[in-house]
Amino acid sequence: MKNLLLLLPLYARRKSGLLLALFCALATVAAGVGLLGVSGWFLTGAALAGAGGMFNLFAPSALVRGLSFLRIVSRYADRVVGHSATLRLLADLRGVVFAALIRLTPRQLARYRSGDLVARMTGDVDALDTVFLFVLAPLATAILAGAVLTAVLGLWVPAAALVFALALLAACVAVPLWLLRAARKPGAAAQESAAELRAATLDAVDGHADMVAMHAQAETLAHFERLCEASALARRSQARVAVRGQWFLQIAAGIAVLALLWFGLATHEAGRIEGPVLAGLLLAVIGIFEVAGPIMRGASRMGSAISAAGRIREVTQCGPDMQDPAAPLALPDNGALELERVRFAYPARTSGESPLVLDDISLRVEPGERVAILGASGAGKSTLLHLLLRLEDPQGGRVLFGGRDARDCAQADWHRRIALLSQDAPLFLGTLRTNLLIGDPEAGDADLWRVLEAAKLGDFVRGLPDGLDTWAGETGSQLSAGQARRLCLARALLAPAAIIVLDEPTAGLDAAAEAAFFADLENAVRGRTVVLATHAVLPDAAVHRRVELRGGRLYDLSSQPAILA
């Protein structure tokens, strides 16, 4: 339950909208219960008048018309205001989750499947609409309206008022609390299976071509059907809990009505209550139990809401695992980039030590120098580049820029000095232009064309009907994988950083384009420092120095076999 506390600050921020929604809900219930009560009074009074009794028809008929109108208006306002307040809350919460997600470091994010993160942002956030719409608002209105009706009943039939109050409390509080316990497991299962379904859908869309090529549709479909079955099973259990709630609700309402009839008729016989008033009170009692209907539905869904809140809280509570120092050191605009006796191993997945990927390595790259890191697949090239970017921290040794330890500086400052083209750099939804401008939002068209030429993509973009305004990204992309890669390369080259770190910059380029890119590298980076990891054969002038990673150690290929340490 404490997971739901994450909603408190959001409720506080939207309190005026929520209070208005509560007021509208209360007005709707009051008008509805009042309408039933007055109608009962009116009809019974009218019947008795027809049978020879005296009854003033004017006041009740005016009340019926007034309450009917009020009920229509307040019900409409209740729906509009209640849903609008809830949707705003959910939008706020989505913002909070997204802000928490982008604060995390890449290695923290890597623990989640992308489909699971999408599920947390969408399905889990949506599941929390239950809390206000189906639990808090109806509960508050039932208790307030119930208190008023108890007081009214107490004036005429005190014993029935007591039974009514107890029955209403049982229906609105005790039974929902009991249902909530019963709904916890199926709710969590429903939420988990909904997240699994989203993740499986994204996986199937992402890997569709490979799935078709490997004739794996049948297995994928079977897996999906298993998930659907699990989801349906969990939802059936939730529905059963809600049905159980409705039974108890009817029983509680029946007890309250019987008590009112029992004690009310005795009071009527004693001449202390008129027949029309008793009939009106009876209908009002029946009407108020209708408010508890949504609470039963809400209680049966609270298991999902609690589980969703837990999944969201896991993300919002976990701060970034790399913090800036309290007083970060200022970084110079330029300077040498150094690894000093660096040791690094990824965290062990099982018990025991994980092997060192980088074992006591040192490297100094002077301003303006271009250094290539070579090495077999899995040798640790990308890991080394990630340490330079401070996407990981070493377990031993230091990473320095201009003599300043990365851990003593603000991460944002560090990332302004060093730009990265990662191995799996993505295209974002948008045009070629918006994708490039991520590298430097201030860049003009001339700069964009310059880096496109450098990435050997200029001719292609010039040939597109919409040029720089061509749509790129997931849907409707007109780019091949190699062209998309070159666009990411152009984006990295555009960044105004002093150092450019390129991980496999020519992956996806044909041999001629690759050779042309490396031959022109000095020009493309305009004399800036470059550290690149590659499997390509480099032309002589492409870099000043080549080093090779082997067995966790770094070897300078220009002065082999010396180890850089």
Ligand X SMILES: Nc1ncnc2c1ncn2[C@@H]1O[C@H](COP(=O)(O)OP(=O)(O)OP(=O)(O)O)[C@@H](O)[C@H]1O
**Inter-residue long-range contacts of 157-165, CB under 8 Å, 24+ positions, other chains counted:** 157/260, 157/263, 157/264, 157/267, 157/273, 157/281, 159/259, 159/263, 160/256, 160/259, 160/260, 160/262, 160/263, 160/264, 163/255, 163/256, 163/259, 163/260, 163/263, 164/256, 164/259, 164/260, 164/285
Stretch that binds ligand X, among 11-19, 93-101, 380-388, 456-464 (CB under 6 A): 380-388
DSSP notation for 18-68: HHHHHHHHHHHHHHHHHHHHHHHHHHHHHHHHHTT-----HHHHHHHHHHH
380 vs 394 by CB, closer to ligand X: 380
User: Among 138, 264, 380, 439, which residue interacts with ligand X (rule: CB under 6 A)?
Assistant: 380
Answer left, alpha or beta for residue 358, where phi above 0 means left and psi between -120 and 50 means alpha.
Answer: beta
User: Among 86, 130, 383, 529, which residue interacts with ligand X (rule: CB under 6 A)?
Assistant: 383
User: Among 346, 395, 474, 563, which residue interacts with ligand X (rule: CB under 6 A)?
Assistant: 346
Output phi, psi for 162, to 5 deg.
-65, -45
Neighbours of 76 (CB within 10 A): 12
247 vs 346 by CB, closer to ligand X: 346
Q: How far is CA 50 from CA 55, 64, 294, in A?
A: 9, 19, 39
Task: Please work out the total of residues on this chain that contact ligand X, with binding judged by CB under 6 A.
Answer: 11
394 binds ligand X (CB under 6 A): no
115 vs 552 by CB, closer to ligand X: 552
129 vs 548 by CB, closer to ligand X: 548
Q: How far is CA 194 from CA 5, 87, 304, in A?
A: 23, 20, 10
34 vs 375 by CB, closer to ligand X: 375
1 vs 110 by CB, closer to ligand X: 110
105 vs 220 by CB, closer to ligand X: 105
Burial of 102 (0-12, 13-18, 19+ CB in 10 A): exposed
Q: How far is the CB of 412 from ligand X (least distance, A)?
A: 23
Neighbours of 403 (CB within 10 A): 11
382 vs 411 by CB, closer to ligand X: 382
378 binds ligand X (CB under 6 A): yes
332 vs 426 by CB, closer to ligand X: 426
- Give the total residue count for the chain: 565
> Distance (Å, rounded) from C-alpha 409 to C-alpha 323?
10
- Per-residue contact string for residues 306-345; x = within reach of ligand X by CB under 6 A: ----------------------------------------
379 binds ligand X (CB under 6 A): yes
76 binds ligand X (CB under 6 A): no
Stretch that binds ligand X, among 167-175, 376-384, 396-404, 410-418 (CB under 6 A): 376-384
CA atoms within 13 A on the CB side of 515: 3
Q: How far is the CB of 376 from ligand X (least distance, A)?
A: 7
Stretch that binds ligand X, among 146-154, 374-382, 412-420, 426-434 (CB under 6 A): 374-382
381 binds ligand X (CB under 6 A): yes
191 vs 382 by CB, closer to ligand X: 382
69 vs 346 by CB, closer to ligand X: 346
377 vs 475 by CB, closer to ligand X: 377
256 binds ligand X (CB under 6 A): no
Q: Which of residues 420-439 bind ligand X (CB under 6 A)?
A: 423
User: Among 357, 387, 479, 498, which residue interacts with ligand X (rule: CB under 6 A)?
Assistant: 357
Q: How far is the CB of 346 from ligand X (least distance, A)?
A: 3
Q: How far is the CB of 382 from ligand X (least distance, A)?
A: 3
Whether residue 233 contacts residue 194, with contact meaning beta carbons closer than 8 Å, is answered with no
- CA 279 to the chain's CA centroid: 51
Q: 174-196 burial by CB neighbour count: b if 16+ within 10 A, else e?
A: ebbebbbebbbebbbbbbbbbbb
Q: How far is the CB of 105 from ligand X (least distance, A)?
A: 12
Contacts of 328 (CB under 8 A, 6+ apart): 408, 409, 410, 413
> Distance (Å, rounded) from C-alpha 161 to C-alpha 256?
9
Q: How far is the CB of 383 from ligand X (least distance, A)?
A: 3
Stretch that binds ligand X, among 375-383, 395-403, 484-492, 513-521 (CB under 6 A): 375-383
382 binds ligand X (CB under 6 A): yes
> Distance (Å, rounded) from C-alpha 281 to C-alpha 520?
90
Which residues in this chain contact ligand X in the complex, by CB under 6 A? 346, 357, 375, 377-383, 423
